[in-house]
Chain A
Amino acid sequence: MLSKRIIPCLDVRDGKLTKGIKFKNNVDIGDPVEAAREYYEQGADEIVFYDITASSDGRNIMIDVVRRVAETIFIPFSVGGGIRTVDDMRRVILAGAEKISINSEAVKKPLLINEGARAFGKQCIVLGMDVKKVGRNSRIPSGYEVAIHGGRKYTGIDALWWAKEAENLGAGEICLNSIDADGTQEGYEIELTQLISSNVRIPVIASGGAGKPEHLLDVLTRGKADAALIASMVHYRTYTISEIKTYLNGHGVKIRMHW
C-alpha cells in the first residue's frame, strides 16, 4: 500500500529562503538547495517550494535553484508561485521539478489546469487552494470559501465545488491550505480536509496548522489526507522529519521508514 507522504514546504524569495532554517548546531541556512538536501537526508518524501518572488529577474534565479535542487536530491519536488502559463510550467519542469502547483492563477483561468495536464500529464499539476471557513449559505453550501492572493482576496467560490471542478479539469492532486489554521501550529483543519478528501478521487495534501506530530497523525487518519505539509515545526528544529515519521509509524500510519 502507498505510504502517507510527509512534505516540508520551503518559501523562497529571490533565490533565498525567506525564513532562515535552523539545522544542526543551530546554524541558520538561507540556501534552499542546502535546506532541501537536509530534508532529503532526514527522510522527506517530497519537497514543496513556494516562490514568492515578485520580479521577473527573481524568477530566473528560481529556475536556477530548481536546477540545483534537481542535481542534489532524488525524490519528487514541486514548485509553485508565479506560474501563469504553460510556458512557465515547462521551464520549471525542464529544470527538474516533478510537479508544478498553481493557485490564484487557476481560479482566474481554470483552463490553465487543463492545458497543463494535457501538456505534461495530470500527475504534474497540483492545485493549491487557500480556504477559509465562512459558515454555510446558499452561495457557499460547504461553508468553506476559496481565497486568492495569499488569502487576501475572497472569491465567492465554494471550496468543495472548486476541488471537484479542478479534478474534472485535470488536476492530479490538491494541496489544501486552511487560512484559519495556517501559522497557528495548533493542528490542521480536520473537518475541511476530510470533506475535500472524501469527495475527490485525487490525492489531497493537508496544509496549515502543523505544530506537533499528533497533528499529522490526526489529519492523516481522521482527516483522510494522503500527505501532510509541514513548515515551522521542522524549520525551527522543534522536530526532525525522521522523529515525526518514527512517531507516525509507531501509531500505525503507513510511512516510508527506509531512505
Chain B
Amino acid sequence: MIAIVNYRAGNLTSVARALHYLNQPYQITADLPILQEATHLIFPGVGAAGEAMAYLRQTHLDLCIRKWVRMGKPMLGICLGTQVIFEHSEEDNTVCLGIVPGCVKRFPENLQYGNQYLKVPHMGWNHVAFQKKHPVFRGLSEGSEFYFVHSYYPVPADDRWVIGWTDYGIRFCAALAHKNLVAVQFHPEKSGRPGLQILANFCRWGGKDAQ
C-alpha cells in the first residue's frame, strides 16, 4: 500500500486520483502505524514551508518521515513536499527536515529571459532536461514537459543528485534522486501522460537506484 502523507498542506486528492487511475492501492493518512506499514511513501503538498514544518513537528510526522527514509523504503516528494526535505527554506526562513543536504531559494526578482521579465510564480508547462538514468524516470520521451507552480526552488548540496534541470531565467533542479528518495518540483499528477508514467514507475520502484 502507498501512503500519501496528509500534513494539511493543500489538496492531496489529485495525487490520490492519479493513483486510483493507475490502479494502485493508496491511503491518505497522518496515522503513524499506517505510515509504518506502507511500502511506498508519497509526500506531496502545496502551500507555505513555515506552516507545513510547524504542523509536521507538532504531529511528530517529522520524526516518522526521517525514520521512514532511514529504513530504505521508496519515498517520493512533490512540490512543497520536495522543498521541506532539505535543510532550510528561504520561505518564512524555515528550518526543514534535513533529509537531503541543501536549501530552498526564492526566484530572484527581475528574473529575465532575453529582454523579457519573467513572472513569479513559475506557473505552467516547462521542459525538464533529464541528465541521468533512474528507474523512476524511465520511459519518458526527450521533449516531455511538466506542470509547475512555485516561487521557490530546491538547491541540493551536490549536483550529482540532480536527475533533471529546468530553465526559468536560471537553471534549477526539477528532479533529484538521493538513495531511496526521489523528489520533483513539478506536479506529476497534473502533467498528463509523462507525469502518470513517473507515478507508475515510482509505484514499481524498490528504492534502489541501480538500473
Contact = CB atoms under 8 A, between A and B. Distances in A.
Contacts, number: 83
A168 interface: no
A76 B189 CA distance: 9
A132 interface: no
A201 B121 CA distance: 10
A1 B47 contact: no
Contacts of A93: 11
A96 B189 CA distance: 11
Contacts of A123: 121, 123, 149
Contact of B192 (A121, A122, A202, A259): A259
A75 B190 contact: yes
B168 A94 contact: no
B5 to A, nearest CB: 18
A98 B190 contact: yes
A256 interface: yes
Contact of B125 (A3, A74, A201): A3
Contact of A258 (B143, B147, B167): B143
Given A1-B167, A96-B14, A257-B143, A76 B113 contact: no
B68 to A, nearest CB: 27
B125 A70 contact: no
A14 B53 CA distance: 42
Contacts of B39: none
A45 B124 CA distance: 9
Contacts of A2: 122-126, 168
Given A75-B190, A203-B119, A257-B143, A1 B113 contact: yes
Given A3-B125, A71-B21, A259-B193, A121 B147 contact: no
Given A74-B18, A76-B147, A76-B190, A1 B168 contact: yes
B79 to A, nearest CB: 11
A5 interface: yes
Contacts of B10: 121
Given A75-B192, A258-B143, A258-B145, A70 B113 contact: no
Contact of B194 (A40, A201, A227, A258): A258
Given A121-B46, A172-B123, A201-B120, 16 more contacts: A2-B123, A2-B124, A2-B126, A70-B13, A74-B192, A74-B196, A75-B191, A76-B190, A98-B190, A121-B47, A202-B119, A203-B119, A203-B123, A256-B125, A258-B141, A259-B193
